Structure 1
Amino acid sequence: MAQSTPPPFDPSHPPLIEGFTPSTYQHPEEGFREKFLRKSRENPLVPIGCLGTAGALIYGLICFNRGNTRQSQMMMRARIIAQGFTVAALMVGVVVTAMKPQK
């Protein structure tokens, strides 16, 4: 009598990870607007970086369309700096959240 082996992945059941207890979602009736505002309050530098990135991109494209290539290049460099700022803000937010004591 051959013993059947369990399938490697059963999508109907989450995997069991030793030492990990899943937590429940804390904000069940939270819509997009409420979640956006809560996340913005938790880490306000990310939306600022996103707005800076979008602003530099849009202004750079406008300068490119007008034929002002020097200003367009400057704005594309500013966009890359703003993107780096945004990524750094995200990473700092992740570290701060990970170090925050659980309630």
Structure 2
Amino acid sequence: MSSDEWSAAEDEGQLSRLLRKSRDAPFVPAGVAGFVAVLSYGLYRLKSRGGQKMSLHLIHARVAAQGCAVGAVTLGVLYSMYKDYIRPRFFSAPKK
């Protein structure tokens, strides 16, 4: 069998792929979790929104959920920049 051919045994499953990608970028699942939490809370509070229009309530919930997702991605980018550029520059062992 050629190494260029696809084999079902070599294919990784969906769960293992998700876990591997979560280890590579841990802030992405955190952003998704924050997005789902804010969205769930917004839907839960939908009944007790008072005199506020439904469209305005949904817009506020969407903006808060997007803020969680964008904030988590931003933190992930800052962490990877720190890990790749700042930490090696200032905390590397002195060369002899």
Q: Tell me the TM-score normalized by structure 1.
A: 0.49
Alignment root-mean-square deviation, CA = 2.9
2:48 counterpart residue number: 67
Q: Distance in 1 between matches of 2:25 and 2:69?
A: 16
2:23 counterpart residue number: 41
Residue 45 of structure 1 contacts residue 86 of structure 1 at CA under 8 Å; is this kept in 2? yes
Q: Distance in 1 between matches of 2:24 and 2:73?
A: 16
Residue 46 of structure 1 contacts residue 89 of structure 1 at CA under 8 Å; is this kept in 2? no
Q: Percent identity?
A: 29
Pairing partner for 2:70 from 69, 79, 84: 84
The alpha-carbon distance between structure 1 residues 58 and 40, as it changes in their structure 2 partners (threshold 3 A), is: same
Task: Using CA pairs under 8 Å that are at least 6 residues apart, name the structure with larger relative contact order, 1 or 2.
Answer: 2
Pairing partner for 1:55 from 37, 42, 47: 37
Q: Give the number of equivalent residue pairs.
A: 66
Gap runs ≥5 in structure 2: 1-9, 85-96
The superposition leaves residues 51-70 of structure 1 with CA deviations (integer Å, 9 ceiling, x where unpaired) of 10011011101111x13257
2:14 counterpart residue number: 32
Q: Distance in 2 between matches of 1:32 and 1:80?
A: 25
Q: What is the CA-CA distance between 1:29 and the residue it aligns to?
A: 2.8
Q: Which amino acid aligns with 1:82?
A: C
Q: Distance in 1 between matches of 2:14 and 2:32?
A: 17
Q: Which has the higher helix share?
A: 2
